[in-house]
Structure 1
Amino acid sequence: MHDSFAHAGGRLATRLLDVTTDLSALDGRGWWAVVVDYEGKVTCARFGDVRPAPLPEPRVPWRGPAPSAWRSSLDRDAYEAGVRRIREHIERGDVYQANLCRVLTAPLPGDPDPVALAVRLAEGNPAPHAATVSLPGLSVVSASPELYLSRDGDVIESRPIKGTGATAGELLEKDYAENVMIVDLVRNDLGRVAAVGSVSVPALCEVEEHPGLVHLVSTVRARLAPEFGWPELFAATFPPGSVTGAPKYSAVRIINELEPEPRGPYCGAVGWVDADRGRASLAVGIRTFWLSAGEIRFGTGAGITWGSDPRREWQETELKASRLIALASTPGKTPDKEN
């Protein structure tokens, strides 16, 4: 088994120094790998050796579950019923949008090497915010396309994704409306800890191409007020708006009613913080696998609005999952770019 390590932002971190659940440690010293579950469980791991490097060589080849071995926390009927329930909440004025997710789980026998899975994802589904964190009791392999928070000094930025299609031509008016709603939410979240007047939206509803699909992505930027640090920044913005809904409090309540299993690292935060240089990049934990106790898990979901069609929303969750599940399964042939 590999020793504890993290790979993120093109850097390989080794020589684990300490692990804490205290977010205020990120305002101190050192380079930290960070995993925060959607439910709020914090893991911050400080490493002593950090250098630009590719992923290390896998100890053994990746052997994942059979494609048929994956089970979903919500089957198609239950998921589509959940979409209809959210539309009822929207009709009553409880919420404007809520993200409905399901967790896929499969057995993973033996002593799997997370590096081998990370290498497979890097080759078959390269992602701008990919990260791998391997610690005792925690292995997370993420191919996330979405930036939750970056930091450069006091400049903080979020790039929420809302709106997904196989091609740009398949994006609907509903996708653009979703994105604008979440941008408003992120602006309000950042505004709680931002210097007055510093919140801006440099880009709105840009189309980004990723392997097998396209996303609508916006950019929200602000300056962190000097009296606030990482605990306050998380308190104001977590869980990410793009994976909860608007208003966030109501969306989270509805999500808890409809989703039968915890999301774990999925929809949480995965990435790194360099406290010495005042820089950081934390992804939203989507397109993310986590390995524990002989099982592998992966989450997928969709944002539900009044304009949502239950069948189409289920298909969106399938689209988001299909390529990654194929890569993580054995036997597995790397899908082509048009999957």
Structure 2
Amino acid sequence: MHDSLAHVGGLLATGLRDVTTDLAALDGPGWWAVVVDYEAKVTCARFDEVRQAPLPAASGPWAGPSPSSWRSSLDRDGYERGVRRIRDYIRQGEVYQANLCRVLDAPMVPGDDPLALAHRLAEGNPAPHAAFIRLPGLTVVSASPELYLSRDGMTVTSRPIKGTGVSAADLLDKDYAENVMIVDLVRNDLGIVAEVGSVEVPELCVVEEHPGLVHLVSTVRARLAPGRGWPELFAATFPPGSVTGAPKSSALHIINELEPSPRGPYCGAVGWVDADRRTAALAVGIRTFWITGDEIRFGTGAGITWGSEPRREWHETELKAARLIELASSGGLA
């Protein structure tokens, strides 16, 4: 376990002490790197040594899979059929919005060092919630732009993203409507564990620029009610609303029906919790690679509403994936 490490939020954590699947551990002592799969598989890794430090140097190269070796869990026709199916559910009144995602996978190149991939992403696609977590059996390399939950004492904040375009001019009315819908969902989720009257929305539908695209981002903040800790917070808010849909319960059933592959850390939570200081920052696991065994995977998706056009939604998933897949593939970055 000596090569296990985490680099998140400018912090380098080494000296892995233990790993648990119990979210209640995050209310106890220690500094934890956290990966929670969309399917709710929990990995909390406690490290003994944590300090401000840059991303460590890689011990080897990253050649990357060939661009043609990536396979998608849904091809274009399958994805567009899924969009039409979700529109059918919307017409029937089952759901207002649902995310439809697909998982790309490729074989690992023998000898490739994921730390070198993390450096590629840091240079070619810098992200506010970048993370590198290497644990026994799992490596996550994330360039997530989206905050799922941060915590400062009893104050929790979420910054859901809904709406994506190449520029602000590409954003449609449906993108703004979708964002407001998800903000309402996040407000309701946080309200389950918040002090009455403490949920607020200080920012709504702000256009944020990221490498190669723009997003609509809102901010929702609340104060946790006494006696509510990490298990209750996850039970109320996970999976994140921006990657499920509204109403969430209906969206989850539809996602389970239409997506042929598990999402894994994609659309889950990736980040850190400092239980001693009661601070944390967990990103939504988007723009995220994960490596298990000899496979590397990456997820991409789009929010589907009544106003969605199947071909446009497929292209949105392509837009979100293109820059990252190019960086991760052979020849993607000199």
> Shared fold by TM > 0.5?
yes
Equivalences, count: 334
Which residue identity lines up with residue 141 of structure 2 in the other structure?
Answer: V
Task: State the Cα distance separating 1:331 from its structure 2 match.
Answer: 1.9
Structure 1, unmatched stretches of 5+, are 335-339
Identify the residue that residue 166 of structure 2 maps to in structure 1.
166
Offset at residue 111 of structure 1 (A): 3.6
Residue identity in the other structure for 1:121: L
Query: 1:91 & 1:174 partners in 2: Cα distance?
Result: 16
Which residue identity does 1:246 align to in structure 2?
A: A
Deviation at 1:2, TM superposition (A): 7.3
Residues 1-339 of structure 1 aligned to structure 2 (within 5 Å):
3-333=3-333
Contact persistence 1:20–1:43 (CA under 8 A) = yes
Letter in 2 for 1:15: G
After superposition, give the CA deviation of every residue in 1:93-140 in whole Å (9 maximum; x if it has no partner).
000000000000011131432211111000000000011110010100
TM-superposition CA deviations, 1:268-307 (whole Å, max 9, x none): 0000000011100000000000011111100000000000
Which sits farther off after the overlay, 109-118 or 245-254?
Answer: 109-118
Please give the TM-score of this superposition, normalised by the length of structure 1.
0.97
In structure 2, what is the Cα distance between the partners aligned to 1:232 and 1:111?
41
Distance 1:204 1:56 in 2: 37
Partner of 1:337: none
**In the aligned structure 1, how far is the partner of 2:203 from the partner of 2:333?**
37
2:60 touches 2:111 (CA, 8 Å); kept in 1? no
What amino acid sits opposite 2:97 in the alignment?
Answer: Q
Contact 2:2/2:15, CA 8 A, preserved across alignment: no
Preserved contact between residue 120 and residue 333 of structure 2 (Cα < 8 Å): no
**Amino acid paired to 1:139:** T
Distance 1:136 1:33 in 2: 13
Deviation at 1:226, TM superposition (A): 1.2
Indicate the percent of aligned positions where both proteins have the same amino acid: 78
Structure 2 gap ranges (5+): none
Alpha-carbon contact 1:290-1:296 (below 8 Å) kept: yes
Distance in 2 (CA, whole Å) between partners of 1:330 and 1:254 is 35
RMSD, matched Cα: 0.9
Answer yes or no: is the 8 Å Cα contact 2:2–2:16 preserved in 1. Answer: no
Q: Is residue 156–residue 222 contact of structure 2 (8 Å, CA) maintained in 1?
A: yes
Cα deviation code 1:207-256 (max 9, x no counterpart): 00000000000000000111100000000000000000000000000000
- Partner Cα distance (2:2, 2:30) in 1: 22
Task: Provide the rounded CA distance (Å) in 1 between the counterparts of 2:276 and 2:261.
Answer: 37
Confirm or deny: 8 A CA contact 1:5 1:134 kept in the other structure.
yes
**What's the TM-score once normalised by structure 2's chain length?**
0.99
Contact kept? 2:63, 2:109, Cα under 8 Å: no
Letter in 2 for 1:292: T
Residue 333 (structure 1) shift: 2.9
Q: Summarize deviations over 1:6-60 as a string: whole Å, max 9, x none.
A: 0000000000000000000000011000000000000000000000001100010
For residues 194 and 119 of structure 1, what CA distance do their matches in structure 2 show? 38
Displacement of 1:74: 0.3
* Counterpart-to-counterpart distance in 2, 1:73 and 1:174: 26
**Cα displacement string for residues 165-205 of structure 1 (whole angstroms, at most 9, x for unaligned residues):** 00000000000000000000000000000001000000000
Return the letter of the residue paired with 1:45: A
SS of the residue aligned with 1:143?
strand
CA–CA distance in structure 1, aligned partners of residues 91 and 98 of structure 2: 13
Distance of 1:159 and 1:111 partners within structure 2: 37
